[in-house]
Structure 1
């Protein structure tokens, strides 16, 4: 049975929310690339390949935020059967501070043969920048305004 791009997108969202790095990485093509076109300083523009993506997720991303739930998920199928667009709201907690986090995300995924070959994550960079700034302030003993 062939898995559809929509089904792979649903699986990748589930693995992401559960922060199941191995399941997430196993849904990626070996040469997959994840891109963040809009990002604050210090966040990479692109991470390529399963191994680098796994290292990024385990070394940086998984220690920053815990996701409690994704809300208002909409998956748009396009005229290209490989491309799906996913809109959702991520609700979670910033691990080092315990502060709540609410992020609106649009992701464009290209899925071929049941694996993600390209994942462009259009998150709100202001939310991430504020989170990173609050962490830097906390580590320097400064309270953000």
Structure 2
């Protein structure tokens, strides 16, 4: 990806990297000072990660806990700010530890500057994850 990569293209590329379980390449899409926020984070889960290193630590074990199979619905909306997109999507797969199905809908607000993610607000449903110990990042 280059500095001129459009936010939509960068985001779609990032989804493919998650499906490929290539977390290091997904982390490479982040600005060194990027902010990852979880406005609906339940107790014991992080609400805000500051910096690429914190995002990398949070995501490092993702494939060990969630086996993503597909994003069957991805709808990306442009905003009046060219660097910011709003994404409605659904991810499906399985929870590795329990073999239970994973089916999560998300709204994400993502800002990309110079071809890198600088801010990512992830609005996911914490009610679907009842056990804080299941936090794939282990950062309770």
TM-score in terms of structure 1 length: 0.84
Aligned position for 2:138: none
RMSD (Å), alpha carbons: 1.7
Q: Is the 8 A contact 2:44 2:132 kept in 1?
A: no
Aligned position for 1:138: none
- Paired residue secondary structure (1:51): helix
Q: CA deviation at 1:134?
A: 9.0
Structure 2: runs of 5 or more not aligned = 135-140
Q: Is the 8 A contact 1:40 1:128 kept in 2?
A: no
Q: CA deviation at 1:26?
A: 0.6
Question: Is the alpha carbon distance of 1:81 and 1:52 closer, same or farther for their aligned partners in structure 2, counting shifts above 3 Å?
Answer: same
Q: Which runs of 4+ in 1 moved over 6 A?
A: none
TM-score in terms of structure 2 length: 0.86
Structure number with greater CO (CA < 8 Å, separation at least 6) is 2
- Larger Rg: 1 or 2? 1
CA distances 1:67-103 after superposition (whole Å, capped 9, x unpaired) = 1111111011111101001111110111110000110
Q: Is the 8 A contact 2:45 2:132 kept in 1?
A: no
Aligned position for 2:85: 84
Question: Relative to total residues, which structure has the larger helix share, 1 or 2?
Answer: 1
Structure 1: runs of 5 or more not aligned = 136-145
Describe how 1:1-145 pairs up with structure 2 within 5 A.
2-59=4-61, 61-129=62-130, 132=131
Q: CA deviation at 1:6?
A: 1.1
Aligned residues: 132
The 1-side partners of 2:123 and 2:30 are apart by 18
